[in-house]
Amino acid sequence: MRTLTLQRVKFTMGLPLLKRAIQEQAEKTKNFVSRSLVIGEVLSMADMATGVKCGIIYWLFGGAVRNLGSPAHVTKWLQPLQEQKYTGMFAMTERGHGSNVRGIQTEATFDLSAQEFVIDTPCENAEKMYIGNSMYGNYAAVFAQLILNGRSHGPHCFIVPVRDENGSLRPGVTAIDMMYKEGLHGVDNGILRFDKVRIPRENLLDKFGSVAPDGQYHSPIKDRSTRFNAMLAALTPSRLAVTFQAMGSMKLGLTIAIRYSHRPIIILLNCSLASAGHW
């Protein structure tokens, strides 16, 4: 079922309308958000698992790149995503932190000499949980505490390689299958754990906060709470897509229920007409 869903995602996102939608996302075309929400709703009416998986790869992962990254990040990551050269996932939720994003414990410690961030899961509560596309995805948009010289500058988003082009896990990455989720057997949710995985400094999505080669932190928003709120607000359209997917599913369910509820009435009417000799 999961393999079939992945095939459906690749076929669907290869259609001209959907490819154009990703291009509009990269260019931040006017009314892109409203159009993409409708697309997500329609996809979910056709097949919820396909709609959800498309949302994870293109609107959550892709949305993180577009809304939290620089123009250079958009060029580097969204074009290959549109061309289906890789798939992504969105890793925010942790075992011990669901809605409490500010308190996440995954760490991204900057190594000045290597010009790299070290992504690490320091404890069980820091494991990323219910991550969609975790059994197939090549890259993850990982939210972690940005640490410089032992001091945290709050949650930031990083592009972390999870699998190579052959589908094998990268060194230091553990992915645990959470098995089937009721109603979404085609979606592969899992747990992600990182053991000192190194990524280039440039893999920090730095629209709201960046680290210079000398290890200095810079942000256009000086207040830490305001910066955190701005980062989450930038992801609102991507999260809003979930409600439209639910709406599409409810519309379909309501249509089926109404049609089914009319069947006993029609059968009863037919029987009454037959017994009265009208047939």
Give the pair of three-digit tokens for residue 24.
Answer: 């509009």
Mean pLDDT value of segment 224-236: 86
Which tens digits make up the pLDDT trace of 44-70? 888 889 888 988 998 899 989 988 999
Find the range with the poorest average confidence among 3-7, 162-166, 209-213. 3-7
Q: How far is the C-alpha of 91 from the C-alpha of 133, rounded, in Å? A: 10
Range in 2-11, 113-122, 124-133 with the lowest mean pLDDT: 2-11
Beta strands 88-91 and 173-177, pairing class: unpaired
Which of the four pLDDT bands, split at 50, 70 and 90, describes residue 242?
Answer: confident
Average pLDDT, the chain: 89
Per-residue pLDDT reduced to its tens digit, 156-196:
999 999 999 999 999 999 999 999 888 888 999 999 999 99
Q: Closest Cα to residue 158, out of 103, 199, 99, 217?
A: 199
Angle value at C-alpha 186, between 185 and 192, nearest 5 degrees: 90
- The answer, yes or no, to whether residue 265 has pLDDT greater than 70, is no
Q: With a cut of 90, say whether residue 260 has pLDDT above it.
A: no
Q: Cβ(139)–Cβ(89) under 8 Å?
A: yes
Q: In what order do the strands lie in the sheet with 128-132?
A: 128-132, 189-194, 173-177
- pLDDT band at residue 207 using 50, 70 and 90 as cut-offs: very high
**What's the pLDDT score for residue 183?**
80
Looking at domain 2-244, its CATH superfamily turns out to be: Butyryl-CoA Dehydrogenase, subunit A, domain 2 (2.40.110.10)
pLDDT band at 262 (very low <50, low <70, confident <90, very high): confident
- Mean pLDDT over 71-79 rounds to 92
Query: What percent of the chain is predicted at pLDDT more than 70?
Result: 92
How many angstroms separate the CA atoms of 186 and 9, rounded? 11
Proportion of the chain above pLDDT 90, given as a percent: 54
pLDDT for 273 = 59
Assign 99 a pLDDT band (cuts: 50, 70, 90).
confident
Q: Which two tokens stand for residue 237?
A: 């359209």
DSSP output for 32-89: HHHHHHHHHHHHHHH-HHHHHHHIIIIIIIHHHHHHHS-HHHIIIIIHHHHTTS--EE
Over residues 223-228, the mean pLDDT reads: 90
Asked if 80 and 86 touch (Cβ cutoff 8 Å), the reply is: yes
CB environment 156-187: b (16+ within 10 A), e (fewer): bbbbbbbbeeeeeeeebbebeeeeeeeebebb
